[in-house]
Chains A and B, each alone.
Chain A
Amino acid sequence: AQSVTQLGSHVSVSEGALVLLRCNYSSSVPPYLFWYVQYPNQGLQLLLKYTSAATLVKGINGFEAEFKKSETSFHLTKPSAHMSDAAEYFCAVSGGGAGGTSYGKLTFGQGTILTVHP
């Protein structure tokens, strides 16, 4: 069984400020973790993923996330927000590390809407 909790359904930052979107997970097998971004009326775009290699993962558009097993967290950060970063962000977990019935099946968090102010 696996689940994802995103803390904060809405996050608002000023342009140029640090972006921090929080994600905690639970998984009965070694997890694969993902961050996706969704713009209005569009599908999901992969920002980055953790698949048991380096714990600090760098993604597209300047985003990165750090896998912390002891904290069961995978928070998404970006040093300096741009207006174009305004979107909804989803954290997801997959039981991909050890295969099994959860392999490939993504469980999504509730999503966090990021607003960027000028």
Chain B
Amino acid sequence: GAVVSQHPSWVICKSGTSVKIECRSLDFQATTMFWYRQFPKQSLMLMATSNEGSKATYEQGVEKDKFLINHASLTLSTLTVTSAHPEDSSFYICSARARGLDRQFFGPGTRLTVL
């Protein structure tokens, strides 16, 4: 089956620093990637949708200048949390979808802790 990986699986950083999270589709070409955020004991909330080679579409309330998304190739998307603060601590999950498919394949998630 299709595999999506995320790196790193967990990261701890100081307030004010930037953190980059990678999402890779290992055995298929992902024309669309999605980034979700999940706070403890809550559901997944879609942050943004990115299509290869074009700018990401952000959901309402998500700061595009704070959460920079780059979908540089058909197998890689990155999420950069800029000037991270403790309230950005969360579980970030990406998913990938190939053209024409009606399902997404989820990565294992990245736990971000901002001190």
Task: Name A's B-contacting residues (CB within 8 A).
Answer: 32, 34, 36, 41-46, 49, 51, 90, 94, 96, 104-111
B111 touches A (CB below 8 Å):
yes
B46–A106 CB distance below 8 A:
yes
Known contacts: A42-B109, A43-B108. The answer to whether A105 contacts B102 by CB under 8 A is no
B43–A46 CB distance below 8 A:
no
Q: How many residues of B contact A (CB 8 A)?
A: 22
Task: Name B's A-contacting residues (CB within 8 A).
Answer: 4, 6, 32, 34, 42-46, 49, 91, 93, 95, 97, 102-104, 106-109, 111
Known contacts: A43-B106, A44-B93, A49-B102. The answer to whether A105 contacts B49 by CB under 8 A is yes
A107–B109 CB distance below 8 A:
no
Tell which of A32, A42, A51, A90 touches B44, judged by Cβ atoms closer than 8 Å.
Answer: A90
